[in-house]
Structure formats: structure tokens, C-alpha cells
Structure 1
């Protein structure tokens, strides 16, 4: 995997209940600006494992890297951002964890969003162990909770193409907080119903992130407002060049 050594490569990390295609509009915007982009599939099996995978992707890219995380992807880049060639972190409607803090601990400081009540549980096999629990959003609740500002014909597809998250990821603490040593940016989705926007604001402020709040934006802000999300990413790319 190689990228330009002059312009940082952007690595787009999706979160739970989504896949790399959720970045399609953002990818198109970045490519129009000549920015190299990689959008890997996150395993969504646990924070340490997911972060190790994304960090391995970043380390194999020549030159500087800007990590961008949506939702749970924010927790992933907080840990994976420790890779030495990562020059910046961009949080998009995301969890910004402190070292040794879990998603559950951060969320529990604020009023719950409608997401919890909309989650469905299923089991998945674990090699050499007991089956474990994974969660998705009930398809009928998906449009309102995840993507209220996205056209209905799109949300119907997104709802059935969800990637499940291992339930254990909610309790796993972040081994490191890369924002302590790397500059960060944040996009807060003002009408987010999956993550309480207060959670996003708090994490961004604690990290000292340069923050843009998009009023009326749903959790699927990268789908509904790709130009504005890409503009924040481009700022991080220019800073890391």
C-alpha cells in the first residue's frame, strides 16, 4: 500500500452498523481534491483488535496518514492513531475516548440516545470459545435512529446492509488516547439520535479538537453532508502535509 509522501493519505474508518461504502460521498470529494484515500473494512469485533487492524493499515502506507473515524470508528482511531506516521485525527459524529475509558463509561455520563432501545442481539461463533453477542439496529428503527436526514430509498438499503458490532466492544477500555499527542478535528452531528450530540461535543472539547457542528445532521452525516465532512478532513490533510 503506497501513498503520496507529500499529501497525507486519508484512512476512513467506518463504525458500527455501517461499512466502508458509507464513505462514498466523502471519498468522491477527497479524490476530486487529489487526496489519496483508503477505506478499509473494520472487523467490529472488539476495540483492541479493531484498532490493531487499522493501525496495521496505517503503518503500511508510505508517508503521513490522517485517520478519520465515524461513530465507534472514533474509538478505533483514538487507539490506532498511535502509529508513528499518523499526523492527525478527524472524528465524525464519533466517540472520543480518554485512555482507559470505554464507550459505555463515556456514554453513561450523558442522557441515553434512542439507540439502546433499538438494538437487536444475535449470536456469532468465536473460534475456541463460547458464542458471543453482536448487535444491530432493528431495521424499522434504523432510519430514525441512524439516518433521519437521508432519503428513504437509501436508508432501506443501509438498514439491511448493516455490519454488526460485538457487544463486548462497549466495555473495552482504550489502551491509549492518540489525541493527546496528535492534532484533532471533529464534526458534531447536531441532530444525532444514535450518539447523544453532548457525548460528541464533550469528547471533542476534551481532546482540544477543532470542531464544526452541523445543525440538523443525523448520525449518518458522512452520507447526508459529504462536502462539509470532507472540508474538515481536507483541513487536517493540509495541516499534515
Structure 2
């Protein structure tokens, strides 16, 4: 099998730039990589958008999802050219399960009280909705406690909101049922608790790795993430 392209899918309150050190390291090592910009509007809509990006990539794909991006790859990962999944502090949803339902089985993390909502207008006759972000003053403590403050301060004021409707939308499929899967548990995560992460990974029968990291593991532990990606690529050959 030819070497897979690594496709990086970001989560809520972020964009593809959060993968910058991982993307840079993979490029430097000659690993083909694409970091997708996810609309963060709806689970199925975001998954379809990611699948449209996967469709123009030749050859096999290792699909990587962080946080909410884990829910997105759960759905988008059924694309024929996806050969493996990697969750980074992510939601490995079951068929028919929403983010809210999965999270609701466990005590709240520090994330819910740090969220703020803002209505957004619809286009033309389309209805509007509600965007969700993290209060900038609480951003670092909740998702980036071990990230350089010069970086986390910028991320806090440049968040890509997640539409509130995405929390309640059920996953219609679960790609982990038919693809080899890996999952990273971030043991110092205050946004998605390690218990939630591990529950989803164990249910998916994923190969689990642990790392002492905040939620933004690709920024706090990029070397760990890159090394794991390379290990997965090796195992697929």
C-alpha cells in the first residue's frame, strides 16, 4: 500500500492552524498532509465537507480528528479511501449518539461553564442559529494550560465558533466499526475529561495511548503526535 496522506481535522473553537507544529513536522519529513478547514456548522454537514476534501486526494488516507473533529471523522471516515482513524482527545461517537448524549453520561468538565453563546443571523430567508465559543479569559485554563501563553492568547481571541445545533446531532454512522483506530487520552484535559475519551476509545476497540497534556495536545505535545502518526503509518504498510 502506498504511504497514506495524513488529513488533519480540527475541533470546535479552533481552525486548521492549531495543527501548525504537527503539519510543519510532517511536511519536513516528506509525509503528505492536508489540514482541512471545518465549517463547524453541523455534524453531518461538517462530515460531508470533510468527505469532499477526501474525495480529491489520491491514495489511502489516515484521518486524524481532534476534539469535536473526532465526531466529524467518525462520520466522514466511512469514505472508501480512509484506511485508519486517529482520535486526539476526541469524541468517538456511536451510531445514533450525539455529543450531548455521550458527554451527558459523565460529570461535566470545566468547559460547559466557560462557554458563551451568541446568536447569528441566517442568509436570506434561512433561519439563524446560535454560535458557541469559550470565554476568552478562561480559554487557556480550560483548553491550553500547558501551551505558550503567547499562542493561547491569540487562539482565545480568534476562535472559530461551533454552531450549538451540532451538539445535539446524532452520528448516522461510525467509521471506527470498520477501520483500525487509535485514540490519544490527554490526562490533563479540562475540556473533555479523560474518562469520556477513554470510554469512546474502548468502545471502538482502539489502540489507546496516554500523554500528559491539556486539550490542545497538538500544540503542547506535537512531537508525541507526530511520532504516533508515523508509527501508525508504519503499521499500515
Whether the TM-score (by the shorter chain) exceeds 0.5 is yes
Tell me what 1:167 maps to. 164
Tell me what 2:146 maps to. 149
Structure 1 residue ranges, 4+ long, deviating more than 3 angstroms after superposition: none
User: How far is 1:60 from its partner?
Assistant: 1.2
For residues 21-32 of structure 1, what are the structure 2 equivalents within 5 Å? 21-32=17-28
Give a deviation string over 1:180-217, Cα, whole Å, max 9, x none. 000011111101011111100111111111111112x1
User: How far is 1:239 from its partner?
Assistant: 2.9
Tell me what 2:185 maps to. 188
1:10 paired to 2:6: yes
1:172 & 1:199 partners in 2: Cα distance?
Answer: 18
1:153 & 1:131 partners in 2: Cα distance?
Answer: 34
1:72 paired to 2:71: no
3-state SS, counterpart of residue 230 of structure 2? helix
1:80 & 1:238 partners in 2: Cα distance?
Answer: 23
For residues 218-233 of structure 1, what are the structure 2 equivalents within 5 Å? 218-233=214-229
For residues 33-72 of structure 1, what are the structure 2 equivalents within 5 Å? 33-72=29-68
Q: Is the 8 A contact 1:89 1:236 kept in 2?
A: no
Structure 2 unaligned residues grouped into runs of 5+ = none
Aligned-residue Cα RMSD (Å) equals: 1.1
Tell me what 2:201 maps to. 204
Structure 1 unaligned residues grouped into runs of 5+ = none
How many residue pairs get aligned? The number is 236
User: How far is 1:226 from its partner?
Assistant: 0.4
1:161 & 1:195 partners in 2: Cα distance?
Answer: 21
1:197 & 1:72 partners in 2: Cα distance?
Answer: 15
1:59 & 1:237 partners in 2: Cα distance?
Answer: 20
1:77 & 1:124 partners in 2: Cα distance?
Answer: 26
Tell me what 1:132 maps to. 129
3-state SS, counterpart of residue 141 of structure 2? helix
